[in-house]
Amino acid sequence: MVRWRTLVGRLAAALVAVTAGSLVVAAPAAAKPGPDVTPYVVGGTLAAQGEFPFMVRLSMGCGGSLYSPRLVLTAAHCVGRTGTNTSITATLGVVDLQSSSRIQVRSNYVYRAPGYNGNGKDWALIRLATPVTTLPTLKIATSTAYDNGTFTVAGWGATREGGAQQRYLRKATVPFVSDSTCNSYYGGQIIASEEICAGYASGGIDTCQGDSGGPMFRRDASNAWIQVGIVSWGNGCARPSYPGVYTQVSTFAPAIASAAASLGG
C-alpha cells in the first residue's frame, strides 16, 4: 500500500479540497493509493541539538523546514486549502519536542500549491503569526545541480511501519535513485518532472509516517545545507525496492519564491 508520510494517513483529494482552511490530518486518497498511520525516520540515528536548526515539527503530525523567519515549507497533503488558518502550532529550535527551551508559534495563514489534487505539486507554505529570528533558515535548490548524490533526511516520524510518533528528532542518509529506476519500482507512478526518489534497493532506511513535509537536503558547493526534496509518499516504510518519493524542490522553486513574496517574504 502506498502511504503518505503523514501521522494519521492520507485524506482523499476530494476531502482535501473541501476542508476549508483547516489542517488536513491525512487518510487515504485517490491518487497514489491509500496511506497508513504513524511517524519517524526508519533506520536512522538521533540528531544532536542544534545539528539541523531549521527543522520544524507541526502539530498535525507533519514536519517542515524554516524557509524564512515567518514561513515554514511543508507538504501540500499536510494542509487544507489556501487561506487563513490559526490552528497549527509549529515547534522549533529543539530535537526534544518536550524540551523547555522549545519555540512554539501559531500559524495565521496556509498557502497550498495551486492545482494540488493528490498527484504531484506536493508543497505548501505556512505563515507564522510571529517571526522566528533566532534560528537559521534552510535555502532551497533553484536548479537540478544538487538533485543527486547522497541526501540527509530528518524527522520525528515512525521508526517502523505502524510505529508511533517520536519525541526526539532522528536523521538518516539516503542515496539518489534515478527517475527511471524509481518508476520501474512504482509501476510508472512517479511524476519525473515533479518528484525525486531516494533510498536503498535493500530497504532498511527511509522516512515514514509523521515525516511528511520535512526536508531532504544535502551540502552545496559552499558546504551549506540546501533543500532538494520534501517528504511526500512511498510504499510502506523502508521496504526493499520501494525508495521514498519526495517533491522535487528545484521544479517548484520559482513558484515557492513567488508565493513566499506574496505572504510577506
- Active-site residues: which are they? 77, 122, 212
**Closest of 122, 137, 154 to residue 57, by C-alpha:** 154
Return the DSSP state at 144.
G
Lookup result for grid cell 519564491: 257
Q: Three cell numbers at 242?
A: 520501494
Q: Three cell numbers at 177?
A: 535513485
Q: Three cell numbers at 181?
A: 529506476
Residue 18's contacts (CB-CB under 8 Å, 6 or more residues apart) are none
Q: Three cell numbers at 192?
A: 519525473
For residues 9 and 27, the answer to whether their CB atoms sit within 8 Å is yes
Q: How many CB atoms lie within 10 A of CB 127?
A: 20
The phi, psi pair for 142, rounded to 5°, reads -110, 0
For residues 140 and 246, the answer to whether their CB atoms sit within 8 Å is no
**Helix or strand or coil: residue 230?**
strand
